[in-house]
Every structure is written in structure tokens, then in C-alpha cells.
């Protein structure tokens, strides 16, 4: 293989898709995951090391054993709502975890990093609903989760300048869909994301969907988001690992399509894919939801030579549905193995 890449959080949703993409492009993924929210069943490519990112001894050992040359760092806590009630936990896992990872990389001479950041660094998104967000837009996170992502970006940027680390922070918009193989896909517990909830509602395995508000300043009154296929997102990580950047460079790059879809457009697309309408009602706004978060993805194209190629809403929803109907989803992830996981 080309070389070994440590994938922290590689048993999670985006991490597992990236491990598969790395494998397909000739790299050797070394998944490092505590399985606190990831799934052992999702680790199917390369090697697996069970560990916590705050454990620098175990991290260092994994880097040495496999001759790791680069790190893609997904591991962290992601639930925005939970971060508002347990901010300390988010700082501990996300920020202290990144401190531990960076010092271990330095100790082991690993000088290339791709970091999972988020559109959450832009907070309410700032400008009007039809304006896309460039990387230079004001950074004003609206949750402790977003604070930790921005803090990690600053930390990484400073270490690039100080020690010659080369890093790309990818600011994801709304990751969605699944690998078309049906082997891996999205499975959060509890599920809070729109597309899986809408599919469950249409299939009759879940509650009817509540649309969180239809009085936003957007074309149909529901929130606009930039849904990006998880395989497009995975490809962006490989492009970021391969980008020709000088030593010491730090780059923050949006990963989105540049096109927004409303909650009602998603509901329609899920209805088309399932062949049955999504039972839904209009409810109150969810606290903190910005009206519009749509990427300006031009920098990703210029810097990484990357753009979305499989992120039409219909493609995303079709792939998400295939996964939710797959045996892997039914047995591994929702079955006994899924329930065995320890909670953070
Ligand atoms: N929504 C509903 N009903 C639901 C669930 C969601 O109407 O039952 C709406 C939300 O209000 C929002 C849209 O569907 O307008 C998408 O919601 P998601 O929860 O799927 O995703 P978010 O945009 O809230 O969150 C995503 C990522 C977070 C990240 C955040 C900000 O999942 O990790 O974007 O970047 F922090």
C-alpha cells in the first residue's frame, strides 16, 4: 500500500466511509476508536486498534506499530444539544483529545493531519438565506460543540506554525447518505438527523416526522442545509491528505455542494425514494437551528481539486434508504452488537 493512515474515530459514520475510500485508493487505514459511539462492525478495511484519543501511550504505540505517516482525526463528541448541557465533557473529549493526539504525532514524527471540523463554526451562518458561506465568514459558534471545533482549529493552526505540522481542517456541512454497497452507513443513538428520521417515518418504523418550524426567512419557510454525500466527504479527506501543501501550512476548507435543500424538499425526496409519503407535521423551531447553512465550496475545488459528484438529494436519499434496508444495518448495528456499546 501507499502508506498507513491513522483514522481516529474510524468506526463512526464518516470515519468508516473514509477508511473504505483510503483502502480503495491503495492506503492502509489504521482505525483507532474507543467504540463509545462507533461500531466494530463498521471496521472492515485495514487494521483496528481499540483505544481512546486521550491515551497518548496507546496512540503512540499504534503509530509506531503500523508506521503511520498521516492522521485523519474524526474522534470526538458530535451532538450539538448535548454539548449545551455537558460542555465540560465536550472540551475534554474534543479539545483535550486533540491536544493528546497532536503531542503524540509530534513525538512520533507524524507531520500530516486532516481534522474533522464543522459548519458549526459559522454559528447562525450570518448573511441572508440565499448567500453561501465562504471560509472567511465570521466564526461565531452557537454551541459548545461548535466552540470545541473552532478551538481545535486554532490549536492545530498554532502547532502548524510552531512545529511545521501540515494540516487541513474540513468544515463539513450536512453529511448524509451511505456507501452504495450497503455495508456501512449512518447509525446514531439516539438518531437526531433529518434524513434517517424521515426514512424511518416513511417506512413506518419510527414516529411521524416533526418539521422544526416553517416560519424561517427562506423560500418555503423551512431551514436550508447543504447535504453532502458521505462518499463525497470521504473523497475530500483523501484529497486533503494528498494535497501539495508546504510544511507548516494550515488550511480550513468548506466541504459542501453550494446548493441548499429545505426540510420540505428532503421530505419530498424521501417520499419519492420510499414510494410512500413521509408522515409529518409542522412543530416549533428547535433551539439554535440557523435558517440557512450552505457552503461556498470554491476553495475546496481550488486547493484540493475536489468537488461533490454524487450529492444530488435523490442520490443521497436512495443510498441512505438502501443502507437502512440492508442486513448489515438490521443485524450488526441495530442488533446485539449495537446495544453492547459503552456510553461516554
Ligand atoms: N429537522 C427537522 N426535524 C427533525 C430533525 C431535523 O425539521 O426531526 C431539521 C432541522 O431543524 C434542520 C434540518 O432538519 O433544519 C437538518 O437537521 P439535522 O439535525 O439533520 O442537522 P443539523 O443541520 O442540525 O446539524 C448538522 C450536523 C451537526 C452540525 C450542524 C451545524 O449534524 O453535527 O449541522 O453544522 F453541528
Is the distance from CB of 265 to CB of 313 less than 8 angstroms? yes
pLDDT one-digit tens code per residue, 71-129? 999 999 999 989 999 999 999 999 999 999 999 999 999 999 999 999 999 998 866 66
- Amino acid 73: pLDDT: 98
**Cα 27 to middle of ligand 1, angstroms:** 33
Is 105 among the domain residues? yes
On whether residue 219 sits in a domain, the answer given is yes
Q: Is residue 292 part of a domain?
A: yes
Cα→Cα distances 269→232, 291, 317, Å? 19, 20, 7
Residue whose CA lies nearest to ligand 1 atom number 31 = 120
Distance CA 16, CA 197 (A): 21
Task: Specify if 155 maps to a domain.
Answer: yes
* The ligand 1 atom nearest the CA atom of 223: 15
Active site residue 227: no
* End-to-end Cα separation, the chain, in angstroms: 34
- Strand, coil or helix: what is 135? coil
**Do residues 203 and 293 lie in contact, with contact meaning Cβ atoms separated by under 8 Å?**
no
The partner residues of 306 in beta bridges, in order of sequence, read: none
* Least confident window among 43-47, 128-132, 207-211: 128-132
Q: Is any atom of ligand 1 closer than 6 Å to the C-beta of 165? A: no
Q: Domain with 16 in it: what CATH number? A: 3.40.50.720
Q: What is the pLDDT of residues 160-190, one digit of tens each?
A: 999 999 999 999 999 999 999 999 999 888 8
Q: If you take atom 29 of ligand 1, which residue's CA is the nearest one?
A: 120
With respect to residue 215, please indicate whether it lies within any of the assigned structural domains: yes
Residue at 344 is within a domain: no
How many independent structural domains does the chain possess?
1
Q: Hey, which of 9, 13, 194 would you mutate to test ligand 1's pocket, going by the most ligand atoms within 8 Å of its Cβ?
A: 194
Question: Ligand 1 centroid to 50 CA: how many Å?
Answer: 30
pLDDT at 69: 98
Q: Whose CA is nearest to atom 30 of ligand 1?
A: 120
Which of 145, 172, 227, 329 is labelled catalytic? 145
Report d(CA 166, CA 189) in Å as an integer: 34
Q: Does 296 reside within a domain?
A: yes
Pick from 196, 254, 263 the residue to mutate for probing ligand 1's pocket: most ligand atoms within 8 Å of its CB.
263
| Residue 310, beta-bridge partner list | none
Q: Read off the DSSP letter of residue 225.
A: E
Query: Which DSSP string corresponds to 140-182?
Result: --SSHHHHHHHHHHHHHHHHHHHH--EEEEEEE-EEE---TTS
Does the beta carbon of 84 sit less than 6 angstroms from any atom of ligand 1? no
> Confidence class of residue 311 from pLDDT cuts 50, 70 and 90?
very high
| H helical segments located in the chain | 13-24, 56-66, 80-85, 87-90, 97-107, 144-163, 194-203, 230-242, 263-274, 298-304, 313-324, 327, 336-339
Q: Average pLDDT of 49-76?
A: 98
Distance 206 CA to ligand 1 centre (A): 17
* Helix (H) / strand (E) containing 6: strand 4-8
What is the pLDDT averaged over residues 14-27? 98
| pLDDT tens track for 295-308 | 999 999 999 999 99
The finding on whether 264 has its CB within 6 A of some atom of ligand 1 is no
**Which residue in the block uniquely carries the three cell numbers 466552540?**
147
The answer to ipTM > 0.85 is yes
- Residue 207 located in a structural domain: yes
Structural domain boundaries, residue 64: 4-339
Calpha distance 88→228 (Å, rounded)? 30
Written as nine digits, the cell of 200 is: 424511518
What percent of the chain stands above pLDDT 90?
Answer: 89
Amino acid at each position: 500500500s501507499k502508506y498507513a493512515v491513522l483514522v481516529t474515530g474510524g468506526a463512526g459514520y464518516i470515519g468508516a466511509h473514509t477508511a473504505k475510500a483510503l483502502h480503495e485508493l491503495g492506503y492502509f487505514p489504521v482505525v483507532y476508536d474507543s467504540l463509545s459511539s462507533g461500531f466494530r462492525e463498521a471496521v472492515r478495511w485495514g487494521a483496528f486498534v481499540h483505544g481512546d484519543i486521550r491515551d497518548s501511550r496507546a496512540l503512540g504505540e499504534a503509530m509506531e506499530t503500523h508506521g503511520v505517516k498521516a492522521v485523519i482525526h474524526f474522534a470526538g463528541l458530535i451532538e450539538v444539544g448535548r454539548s449545551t448541557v455537558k460542555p465540560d465533557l465536550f472540551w475534554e473529549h474534543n479539545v483535550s483529545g486533540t491536544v493528546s493526539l497532536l503531542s503524540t504525532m509530534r513525538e512520533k514524527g507524524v507531520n500530516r493531519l486532516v481534522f474533522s471540523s464543522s459548519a458549526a463554526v459559522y454559528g447562525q451562518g450570518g448573511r441572508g438565506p440565499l448567500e453561501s458561506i465562504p471560509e472567511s465568514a465570521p466564526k461565531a459558534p452557537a454551541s459548545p460543540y461548535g466552540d470545541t471545533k473552532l478551538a481545535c482549529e486554532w490549536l492545530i493552526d498554532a502547532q502548524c506554525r510552531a512545529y511545521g505540522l501540515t494540516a487541513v481542517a474540513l468544515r463539513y456541512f450536512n453529511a448524509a447518505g451511505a456507501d452504495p454497497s450497503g455495508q456501512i452507513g449512518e447509525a446514531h443513538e439516539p438518531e437526531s438527523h433529518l434524513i434517517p428520521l424521515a426514512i424511518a417515518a416513511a417506512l413506518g418504523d419510527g414516529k411521524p416526522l416533526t418539521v422544526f418550524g416553517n416560519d424561517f426567512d427562506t423560500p418555503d419557510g423551512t431551514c436550508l442545509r447543504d447535504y453532502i454525500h458521505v462518499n463525497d466527504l470521504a473523497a475530500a479527506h483523501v484529497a486533503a491528505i494528498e494535497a501539495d501543501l508546504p510544511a507548516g501550512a494550515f488550511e480550513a476548507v468548506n466541504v459542501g455542494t453550494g446548493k441548499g435543500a429545505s426540510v420540505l424538499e428532503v421530505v419530498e425526496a424521501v417520499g419519492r425514494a420510499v414510494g410512500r409519503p413521509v408522515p409529518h407535521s409542522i412543530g416549533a423551531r428547535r433551539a439554535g437551528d440557523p435558517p440557512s447553512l450552505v457552503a461556498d465550496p470554491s476553495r475546496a475545488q481550488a486547493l484540493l481539486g475536489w468537488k461533490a459528484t454524487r450529492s444530488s438529494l435523490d442520490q443521497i436519499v436512495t443510498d441512505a434508504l438502501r443502507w437502512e434496508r440492508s442486513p448489515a444495518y438490521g443485524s450488526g448495528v441495530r442488533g446485539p452488537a449495537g446495544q453492547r456499546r459503552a456510553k461516554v
